Chains A and B, each alone.
Chain A
Amino acid sequence: MFAAYFDQFNVIKSVIFTNSSMMMMLAVIISLLLLEGNKLIPNRWQFLIEFIYINIHSVVQDNLGKVGQKFFPFVLCLFIFIAMLNILGLFPYIFVPTAQIVITLGISMSIIIAVTLLGLLTFKLNFFSILMPGGVPLVLAPFLVVIETASFLIKAISLGVRLAANISAGHLLFAILSGFAFNMLSSGMIISSLAPMLIMVFITLLEIMVAVIQAYVFCLLTTIYLGDTIALH
């Protein structure tokens, strides 16, 4: 029974593409078609992309400053990609790639690897000074270096797992509650089935917010991690 709830996350290959890659392509196409912003006097959809642009720009500006503006296109695209995938996944019968750990871990590990490489290119071996926090007694150095190294490595995992866990938890909740309500309806308990459906209404509202917030948190943490490539400590 529990396995049936996880069937919605199965990756299915049809002809050439998997459902995961098809959804990602669809998200890109929809983003390109819908979020077009080339008018001097914006229309309603352009307002949305301008709103996203302004907010992500302020995040990048606050965390990375003027030097970090080179990362702004990447962070903006990341946000739109993840947010669009999450929002599309809210619709029924639509596969959500960001619930797949392989997708999110792929993105997060790529980011952490890029941060490490950029840091090494910029600061050479001094980059490893981030593993030693400033103002710490030298006696604690060995332990702290180990802990900081583990923390650095876990960043990659936590960044990806956070997104996948939140999205998949929401969809699992949908599946469980809808199964519950459907069983009640099938059994003739129509009035009682309103309770799980009412809970699903609130879960839907929550999931809409979670879809956008998780994308924002992912981008915010990415921006913070990219800060290590600009300035140490």
Chain B
Amino acid sequence: MFSRLVCTVGRLAPATGRVGLWRPLSTCQPRFTNDTPQPVSTSGRTGLAGFLESKTGVTGAGTLGVGMAAYLISKEIYIINNETVVVVVVGGVIYYLLKKMGPPITQYIDERNQKIQDRFYGFHNAQIKEVEDAIVDQQRLDGNLEVRHDIFSVLRENNAMQLEEEYRRRWHEVITEVTRRLDYQLEVQKVQKAFQHSHVVQWLEKAVIDNIKGQEDASISRCIADLKKLAVA
């Protein structure tokens, strides 16, 4: 009963820093488990320091060193004397030189080695580059070839447009010519009609004039008389 209570309370407790009490069904020693998450290493150490860090954690190497030093000094296996000063000074100088001059020297060495490697791999790399350039050219050529469909369709459309244009031009020419001819015919007919009209008018005028020839005086005096009558009215 109490074990179920403890398990329930343990589950309800906050996860960080929880110490869970696990008691199996059979009577045995209680086992404590620590659910505290382990710190994640971000130092990026390699070699012996990395190995120690993987096994003992971030502070493992330091704890080992300090503990070992404390043990050696306390047991008087290592006696602190004037040589210890030499250890400190020489160790410090070597550490400083490694930290200060190490990276530029290693960078110089790596660049030199890379140049040697490039010299040896010069022909090999040149061939690889040549092949890569050929691949790029081939891909560009393939891309250009893909455009031929578009070019053909453009040419086809261009031809169709030219044909259409020629057709319309000829159609327009035909229309113009026909219109011109029709206009000519129209004008001819107009002229004919004008001639006919003027001929008829002249004939009518001649007829009327011939008809009223010799009756001019009588007509005029009749008109005057009528006008007088009208004026009197």
Chain A residues close to B by CB (< 8 Å) = 40-44, 47, 90-93, 174-175, 178-179, 181-183, 185, 197, 200-201, 204-205
Contact = CB atoms under 8 A, between A and B. Distances in A.
Interface string B88-114: 111011000000000000100110110
B75 to A, nearest CB: 18
A111 B230 CA distance: 175
A28 B113 CA distance: 26
A182 B83 CA distance: 9
Given A181-B85, A205-B93, A44 B106 contact: yes
A93 B92 contact: no
A91 B113 CA distance: 30
B113 A92 contact: no
Contacts of B110: 44
B84 interface: yes
A47 B112 contact: yes
B83 A92 contact: yes
A183 B82 CA distance: 8
B109 to A, nearest CB: 5
B123 interface: no
B74 interface: no
A129 B106 CA distance: 50
A197 B87 CA distance: 11
Contacts of B87: 92-93
Given A41-B120, A42-B113, A44-B106, A204 B89 contact: yes
B113 A178 contact: no
B86 interface: yes
A216 B83 CA distance: 28
Nearest to B117: A41
Contact of A91 (B88, B90, B106): B90
B116 interface: yes
Contacts of A93: 83, 87
Nearest to A93: B83
B153 interface: no
B111 to A, nearest CB: 11
